[in-house]
Structure 1
């Protein structure tokens, strides 16, 4: 079975300087991988690179961004639009208009459907952002601290949605320090922190990255 996400010899940068290097892993369909590391260790930079929002210094990522949904720190919503209007907009982009009502139900947003996004609490806004990601219909989810601002019930609800995604053959890479109750190995980015040699290559001092 081919991998849902395959990363080979990846090096990523923040502000033009290497953060992580020599990173390789695979995630099979139906499986998740938990991303760990202290603040500033490069987890968000890695996720943004995998999502195609910035180029890698070197290495390969397969498949391309068209198969990947990225759940970032920001919820990506238009404040003046209602919950339903926001989700309908994103669902239209991804051809998922028939899935809006189900997404609201799964994230306990139905009662808030007509409320402007700017009037939501932090937790409600987070649930709305996660519902938007689900509406992409994409098989690989990249999630950056998805449970921030969520209460215990909402964390459990999100974990149920994630398990459902995996059960249908989806895959996920999740940066979190919360136990979501899923069977997933941990990838600690600590051993992949960039070295002085990576910095030299980034600066073009040995004909490496900058070339």
Structure 2
């Protein structure tokens, strides 16, 4: 039966190396085994925000994460997070929001999808306590200085009550930290938050 299925549905190519992926898990066995898991201490951004990450943004992750983002692919986020043994405690997860125009383009919000996967895995509620005020250019098109300048006042708080305890901002990739810093500033300005951290799927080395 398996041979018949394989004949009717040939293995898709691995998204990273293009070799056949018989298990249809986006990556071949070799690339799955070499995912760059991050075991290092959290990154501390200017201002003191600590950022934990599941992977380094390299190798297969540099292909999978953009693929999961546009269009939004929650199943890929589920699989990626299942490859990480990370556990952490928090009272709520707050997705770093995307502008509504970007959500329409992508068929959803990738940070919301990522937060919902984490929520299901760790039993932590997702609260949409921030909104993005502008549809800025894509971060991948900007250098570090432009990223910091364009993120200024890009977020504001929403009328959502946050619980006591640690609040975690959630984003997919940490590059310069400008997006997370701007999100943290808005959250601290517009909400009563005593303990704030962040989690990303991957950080650039």
TM-score, normalization: structure 2? 0.32
TM-score, normalization: structure 1? 0.32
With a CA cutoff of 8 Å and minimum separation of 6, indicate the structure with the bigger relative contact order. 1
